[in-house]
Chain A
Amino acid sequence: MLASLPDAIALLLTAEALLTLVLGTTLGIILGAIPGIGSTVAVAMVLPFTLSMGQAPAIILLLAVYAGSVYGGSISAILINTPGTPQSAATCLDGFPMAQRGEAGKALGWATIASVIGGLVSAVVLLAAAPQLAALALNFGPIETFSLILLGLTCIVSVSTGSMAKGLLAGVIGIFLSSVGGDPVIGEPRFTFGNWQLISGFNLLAVVIGIFALSEVFIRVSERPKVVSELTAFRGIVLPRWAEWTGRRKGLAKSVVIGNLVGVLPGTGAATAAFISYAEGKRSSPNGAKFGKGEPDGLISSEAANNAVTGGALVPTMARGIPGDAITAVMLATLTLHGITPGFRLMEDNPTLVAAIFAGFFIINLLLLPLGLLLSRIAAPILRMREAYMMTGVVLLCALGVYFVRGNPFDLMVMGFAGVLGFVLRRQGIPMAPLVIGMVLGPTLELTLRQGLILTRGNFLEFFSGHPIALGFGLLTLLALSLPLARGILGRLRDARAG
């Protein structure tokens, strides 16, 4: 495919393609920043415009909106604790505390650079190794995916501030909430108690927006109101200096690798990648103890991974014709509408087109930096308003965002009650991040566990005895769980000796 790169670049250097790249990325960032619209809706919105375009510009427009919206989701996550997309839920954990400290510009700077690098590396990986990655993805069956998700769930331990039991409890509540509705194997409704609205389960974004954003507004209104918001100092993105990257490059590289690998696995998605990467970042970063309190390493872990997924997700879509999620399914539909049949033959028969798409993806990620800087400067004056105006506006935006997910009034009620639940639980010292992690990873965990049990005829031990990849992830999970315990015991012993 690399041999076709010069022709592919020539294809991209047309006025139509360049305009598509800039407009698509800008639109993606704006739509992604609006809570609730999300990547899928953003991509679906521009789909009709692609019908009158050529093959390469059509796919590039969708990719630009996709990558732009994933990055845009981090803007509202950092500034108002409302993830624009589910993939940005992990970004709230450190981004919003930084904004509360008056470092919103810096937080956006870290997020922007991490997103750009994550996306760029994934574009290079795509160009160089798409067929090989597609083959690797075939080694992942339900059992391997189950063990990977199990490893991802260990980040509940790392994001549990205060009592570990309460953090785990929040995670378990999140997993339970994700199991309400149709059973993933036979489709039978569970815990619906005769309410047909519950058959499709609780909408993830409605719950996330409720427990993060709405509960934050409730907490603010219950305290003495501040005259000015924390965003008063916000003047736009402040890019991190080179020296500030010292000790962070390894973590960034690791997050990019995680994003790419999770991206190529169908059915996992960017939110899963962000949380797995966050857990790994927390474990390996020297600043791990500060995660969740506004630590740039946490932001880098989640943002680099969720943007690296965008490239990885294209691998099974283009090379195998298997969409990894709803967004890549829309892209697959667009390819088909333009008479392109995805699969290995596509790379052999039409290498220029594939290379143009991948090279276009590289340029889109380069564009995120200048466009992010420009758009943040334009938006800065709007965000420097009094807390009263900001918080009231957040409720309107939350309602609007959740309405657009499915247009379902029930989701709005779910958001309202999730807000109250978040308010009550946060007052009791129960952290909310594990609840979201549980809700994100729960459905895949259950589905792959049940599929694995069917494959092994109910023998759980066979999950690890006959599957080396699963065994590897299983050992990593044990290590991830035992390390904090060992550190705690050693710390106590040290304190006892010193005391």
Chain B
Amino acid sequence: MPRIFNERVLTQLLLLAVAVALFLSTLGSHPDVPAAQSPVFFPRIILGLWIGLTLIGLVQDLLARKAVGRVERLGAAALFILAAIFYVNLVTRLGFAVSSAPFAALGLFIFGIRNPWMILGYAIAVPGVLVVLFNHVLGMPLPTSPFTYLF
């Protein structure tokens, strides 16, 4: 990647595009309301500042031409992030224990644990302890699995 289009510059451009799009979405709304009482009055000020500050940051990054350090374990990080996003999405659908056990096992594996007994033990014990603590001791029910009726 050419130095001028490094990760920092691309991130700033993305932030600028988001801010401009959000600002444009406020145009034309509530023309009949006095400016200061419009629901978009305050967000417009904030978005204006966002755009201005992103431009300053962009100029700084272009002048500095300083690239961000490479991600040491890109594949592992990407896999873990994807797993975490899946996990937080599934935790209320599949239940806490059912979704946490495979996530914990995968997480430990990505972090470099290779002992299968440790992975298995942790993946069962930690979510299990949390379920017992919250469901039975504190009386704060965790998301239940749709398969609970089988037991």
Contacts and interface: CB of A to CB of B under 8 A. Distances in A.
- Chain B associates with chain A: yes
Given A166-B57, A409-B92, A396 B36 contact: no
A223 interface: yes
Instruction: Give the interface SS of chain A, mostly helix, strand, loop or mixed.
Output: helix
Interface residues of A, number: 59
B57 A165 contact: yes
A458 interface: yes
A17 interface: no
A176 B44 CA distance: 9
Chain B interface size, under 10 / 10 to 19 / 20 to 34 / 35 or more = 35 or more
A412 B92 contact: yes
Contacts of A169: 15, 50, 53-54, 57
Interface stretch (A111-119, A179-187, A291-299, A311-319): A179-187
Given A221-B111, A392-B111, 7 more contacts: A179-B46, A391-B107, A392-B108, A399-B96, A420-B85, A446-B42, A453-B37
Contact of B37 (A173, A179, A450): A450
B76 A222 contact: yes
B35 to A, nearest CB: 8
Given A169-B50, A388-B112, A222 B72 contact: yes
A416 B85 CA distance: 6
A406 to B, nearest CB: 11
Contact of B91 (A392, A403, A429, A449): A403
Contacts of B140: 45, 404
A395 B15 contact: no
Contacts of B39: 183, 185-186, 188, 190
Interface in A401-427: 402-404, 409, 412-413, 415-417, 419-420, 423-425, 427
B111 A427 contact: no
B89 A413 contact: yes
A388 B113 contact: yes
Given A222-B73, A388-B112, A416 B84 contact: yes
Nearest to B143: A403
A168 B48 CA distance: 13
B22 interface: yes
Given A165-B57, A183-B39, A218-B77, A392 B8 contact: no
Interface string A260-297: 00000000000000000000000000000000000000
A93 B14 CA distance: 27
A487 interface: no
A190 B50 contact: no
A387 B111 contact: yes
B108 A191 contact: no
B55 to A, nearest CB: 9
Contacts of A195: none
A429 B100 contact: no
Interface in A230-288: none
A428 B111 contact: no
Interface string B92-136: 110010001001100110111100000000100011001000100
Given A186-B39, A400-B134, A453-B37, A214 B84 contact: yes
Given A450-B37, A453-B37, A427 B68 contact: yes
A6 interface: no
B24 interface: no
Given A172-B46, A400-B134, A392 B107 contact: yes
Interface string B24-47: 010000000010110111110011
B88 A176 contact: no
A163 interface: yes
A453 B7 contact: no
Nearest to A424: B11
A412 B84 contact: no
B56 interface: yes
A412 B89 contact: yes
9 contacts: A45-B140, A172-B46, A222-B74, A388-B112, A388-B113, A391-B111, A393-B126, A409-B91, A417-B85
